[in-house]
């Protein structure tokens, strides 16, 4: 049953991703949306490898799928920080209009990517088999609730393993709250907020992974519709920046 849930997550991500690219082309190819969609290219694949793990079984194929999903996640997730900065700018937030603002977001994103570079360079990073309900997957940390066999070792990844994801989520949430307050558009904040709660509220519960992956759907959808809402050329976005500039000069 849980395997099916992950496959449904994969279908949802793929639908959002395909719709997002179609909307991106029609909306004038906004940069923020490009970064969101490019960063999320393998979100559907990540859920597929978990949903099909029980049939693929332990071995090189499932390990290879996992390494691909993890490396993409580690290197591309911080692009959401840059996307958040661009959204803040096109939404007309005064503090984001400075010529240094996007540079700061880019520097933060680069620093976050650099934190995970050692893991990416070590392509043979350790993976361990984990089992929850009817799912079989490889991962870097295995809590007691995900052991496939009673004698298997518990492997803890610690906070460092998720630090980049946490910081990226917090930055997107902070910008989303600012957009909500100043532009009365809540969806980026709600999506990132749901992701933050989903990823951390359930600890080592057997359901922590599916709930976290469910949260990924919400943060992705929130970013996509917000990037579209404030895409350059839309009436709201086109008029927001001049108003912000006028406020700053006044």
Segment 105-132 mean pLDDT: 86
Tell me which residue of 211, 215, 220 sits closest to 2, measured CA to CA.
Answer: 211
Q: Which residue has the higher pLDDT, 84 or 160?
A: 84
Output b/e per residue, 195-210; b: 16+ Cβ within 10 A. Answer: bbebbeeeeeebebbb
pLDDT-derived band at 123 (thresholds 50, 70, 90) equals low
Instruction: State the chain's mean pLDDT as an integer.
Output: 89
Digit-coded pLDDT (tens) for 156-202: 765 556 889 999 999 999 999 999 999 999 999 999 999 999 987 76
Topology of the domain covering 2-242: Rhopdopsin 7-helix transmembrane proteins (1.20.1070)
Range name among 60-74, 106-120, 132-146, 193-207 with the lowest pLDDT average: 193-207
Q: Which residue has the higher pLDDT, 104 or 121?
A: 104
Please report, for residues 127, 230, 237, the alpha-carbon distance to residue 88 in angstroms, rounded to integers and kept in the order given.
38, 9, 10
pLDDT-derived band at 121 (thresholds 50, 70, 90) equals confident
Q: Please tell me the predicted confidence (pLDDT) of residue 116.
A: 83
Q: Which residue has the higher pLDDT, 241 or 236?
A: 236
Query: What is the CB neighbour count within 10 angstroms for residue 151?
Result: 6
Q: Where are the domains of the chain?
A: 2-242
Q: Please tell me the predicted confidence (pLDDT) of residue 238.
A: 46
Q: Please tell me the predicted confidence (pLDDT) of residue 187.
A: 98
Q: Please tell me the predicted confidence (pLDDT) of residue 248.
A: 43
Q: Please tell me the predicted confidence (pLDDT) of residue 179.
A: 97
Q: Residue 236: is its pLDDT beyond 60?
A: no
Q: Please tell me the predicted confidence (pLDDT) of residue 203.
A: 64
Q: Please tell me the predicted confidence (pLDDT) of residue 241.
A: 47
DSSP string, the chain: -HHHHHHHHHHHHHHHHHHHHHHHHHTT--HHHHHHHHHTTTHHHHHHHHHTHHHH-SSHHHHHHHHHHHHHHHHHTTHHHHHHHHHHHHTT-GGG-STTHHHHHHHHHHHHHHHHHHHHH-TT---EEEEETTEEEEES-B-GGG-SSTTSPPB--TGGGGHHHHHHHHHHHHHHHHHHHHH---HHHHHHHHHHHHHHTTTT-TTHHHHHHHHHHHHHHHHHHHHHHT-TTSHHHHHHHHHHHHHHH-
Segment 112-124 mean pLDDT: 78
Segment 87-116 mean pLDDT: 94
Segment 99-103 mean pLDDT: 91
Q: Please tell me the predicted confidence (pLDDT) of residue 150.
A: 82
């Amino acid at each position: 049953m849980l395997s099916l849930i992950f496959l449904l997550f994969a279908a949802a991500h793929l639908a959002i991703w395909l719709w997002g690219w179609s909307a991106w082309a029609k909306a004038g190819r906004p940069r923020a949306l490009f970064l969101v969609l490019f960063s999320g290219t393998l979100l559907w694949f990540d859920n597929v490898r978990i949903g099909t793990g029980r049939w693929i079984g332990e071995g090189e194929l499932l390990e290879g799928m996992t390494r691909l999903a993890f490396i993409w996640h580690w290197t591309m997730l911080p692009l959401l920080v840059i996307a958040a900065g661009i959204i803040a700018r096109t939404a007309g937030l005064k503090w984001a209009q400075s010529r240094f603002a996007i540079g700061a977001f880019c520097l933060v994103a680069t620093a976050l990517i650099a934190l995970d570079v050692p893991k990416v360079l070590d392509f043979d990073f350790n993976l361990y088999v984990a089992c929850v309900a009817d799912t079989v997957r490889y991962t870097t940390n295995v809590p007691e609730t995900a052991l496939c066999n009673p004698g298997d070792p518990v492997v803890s990844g610690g906070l460092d393993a998720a630090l980049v994801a946490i910081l990226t989520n917090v930055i997107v949430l902070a910008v989303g709250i600012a957009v909500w307050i100043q532009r009365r558009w809540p969806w980026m904040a709600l999506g990132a907020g749901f992701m933050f709660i989903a990823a951390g509220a359930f600890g080592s519960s057997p359901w922590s992974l599916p709930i976290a992956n469910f949260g990924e759907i919400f943060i992705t959808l929130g970013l996509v519709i917000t990037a579209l809402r404030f895409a350059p050329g839309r009436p709201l976005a086109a008029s927001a920046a001049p108003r912000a500039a006028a406020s700053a000069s006044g």
